[in-house]
Amino acid sequence: MGIRTVAVYSNEDKQSTHRLKADESYLIGKGLAPVAAYLNIPEIVNVAKEYDVDAIHPGYGFLSENADFSQAVIDAGIKFIGPKPETVRRMGDKVLAREAAIAAGVDVVPGSDGPITQWEEALQFCEKYGYPAILKAAYGGGGRGMRIVNNKEDLRDQFERATSEALSSFGNGALFIEKYLVKPRHIEVQILGDATGDIVHLYERDCSVQRRYQKVVEIAPAAFLDPAVRQKIIDDAVKLTKFVGYQNAGTVEFLVDQENRPWFIEVNARLQVEHTVSEEVTGVDLVQSQIRIAEGHTLKDLGLIQDNIHCNGAAIQCRVTTEDPANAFHPDTGRIEVFRSGEGMGIRIDAANAHAGAQISPYYDSLLAKVIAHADSHPAAINKMIRALMEFRIRGVKTSIPFLLNVMNNQAFSKGYVDTSFIDSNPELTQ
Ligand code: ADP
């Protein structure tokens, strides 16, 4: 786009590739812990002001879904590339997001009406809706603080554990309880919205391959999804985001139960790690669209008209992490001695610090590279992915590639029907 870029980096990220790829980069968080460096709102805004930055893209970690951050950016006279702070506030709170979904006429998983702090409130819920139920941090995310309750005897103990996890991870112990759906599929819809209230969708992704409620493999479009169910999910996503006046990129997440009924679970008010597969099948550059929308363009200006957005073929993304699948996915650290990636037509690699000589630290997320395969059909994309993963040579740190290859070669996976219990029910995948 010809836009000059300015990056910030922590002391631990001195050698990080993002620092070298940006036109300018500045150290932040001197004297702060590695994660705290990237959470220091005033310092980041000051760097932006000092170096005449006119817009900030928050990426998809740290402050990317933090309304205080986007507000501080706007207050400093800088454009924030993402939804409005009030939207982030409403969607980031699981309870308010549910209320919005209900008001928009979207089916939500039966859940508590508001945040709960007493285990007796959870008991009341379970007596009404039955077991199993799931406790979630009301103000949390990333799969942390979630606990399944199978029976009355478990309830109090799980409630106390979830409360303390929520408190230590998110600074607020309030919980939320909802009915636990057994073996659902996770299907989500990518949307884009502009300041005129226009919304388009970029079809759906299947993110059912999960470990500890975190996505490992993502697919667009979902294979073998009943067309009527797909249409309902997409319509619901557009309805909800129109209802809240959603601007910029966002994702509406649903679980589809074994009776093929979709239920809304949450909205992610930011770009997601798996946005790549939607880009591949639609040919729409999501990050570029985000920047253009933040500049004030309408979707129509950008040629983003629903009838012109098509879904071509199938795309799969594998998250290659520096974790050892043979050792309970323990994060590995150290120097990458050898690095070679798969390549070829239909293969895209989005990576950070993935090169010989890179130092993998224990301080941040262990995602090393996203490998994306795009082909005419799901089976062809899986074959391309297998080929690409087999071409990788990484020495010096352990990676999840052997596990990802097991997933790609699995019969159930290649047939296209997997639910969120897939990894847990197939322990041989981690061998
Ligand atoms: P987070 O905000 O932590 O990402 P989500 O609400 O998006 O949490 O849920 C993450 C994953 O947890 C889902 O994809 C699904 O696998 C599981 N999950 C969440 N809610 C339920 C539920 N009610 N029943 C069954 N599984 C659930």
Retrieve residue 340's tokens: 């070679």
Retrieve residue 179's tokens: 């009915």
Retrieve residue 371's tokens: 């490998």
Residue with CA at minimum distance from ligand 1 atom 11: 213
Calpha distance 305→343 (Å, rounded): 32
* pLDDT for residue 144 is more than 80: no
Q: Kindly provide the ipTM of the predicted complex, given to two decimals.
A: 0.96
Burial of 308 per CB tally in 10 Å (0-12, 13-18, 19+): exposed
Bridge partners for 314 per DSSP: 375
Instruction: Ligand 1: list residues with CB < 6 Å.
Output: 109, 134, 141-143, 178-181, 184, 186, 210, 213, 253, 255, 265-266, 420
Provide the pLDDT for residue 385.
Answer: 98
**Residue 145 contacts residue 136 (beta carbons within 8 Å):** yes
Bridge partners for 50 per DSSP: none
Calpha distance 130→128 (Å, rounded): 6
Provide the pLDDT for residue 43.
Answer: 98
Contact residues for 285 (Cβ-Cβ < 8 A; gap 6+): 279
**Residue 385 contacts residue 335 (beta carbons within 8 Å):** no
Phi, psi for 38 (deg, rounded to 5): -85, 0
Look-up of token digits 């989005």: 350
Retrieve residue 62's tokens: 């740290």
User: Sorting pLDDT into bands at 50, 70 and 90, what band is 356?
Assistant: very high
Report the chain's mean pLDDT, rounded to a whole number.
95
Ligand 1 centroid from CA 111, angstroms: 13
Provide the pLDDT for residue 113.
Answer: 85
Burial of 13 per CB tally in 10 Å (0-12, 13-18, 19+): buried
Calpha distance 79→82 (Å, rounded): 9
Ligand 1 centroid from CA 136, angstroms: 9
Contact residues for 216 (Cβ-Cβ < 8 A; gap 6+): 209, 210, 318, 319, 400, 404, 407, 423
Percent of the chain with pLDDT over 90: 91
Ligand 1 atom nearest to 143, measured from its CA = 3
Whether residue 221 is preceded by a cis peptide bond, meaning omega within 30 degrees of 0, is yes
Burial of 228 per CB tally in 10 Å (0-12, 13-18, 19+): exposed
Whether residue 427 is preceded by a cis peptide bond, meaning omega within 30 degrees of 0, is no
Provide the pLDDT for residue 300.
Answer: 98
* Predicted confidence (pLDDT) per residue in 74-122, tens digit: 999 999 999 999 999 999 888 899 999 999 999 999 999 889 999 999 9
Calpha distance 49→12 (Å, rounded): 24
Provide the pLDDT for residue 238.
Answer: 98
Ligand 1 centroid from CA 253, angstroms: 9
* Predicted confidence (pLDDT) per residue in 22-56, tens digit: 999 999 999 999 999 999 999 999 999 999 999 99
Marked catalytic residue, from 230, 270, 292, 319: 270
Q: Is 270 a catalytic residue?
A: yes
Calpha distance 217→209 (Å, rounded): 6
* pLDDT for residue 401 is more than 90: yes
Q: Sign (positive/negative) of CA torsion 151, 157, 159, 161?
A: negative
235-246: burial string, b at 16+ Cβ within 10 Å, e else: ebbbebbeebeb
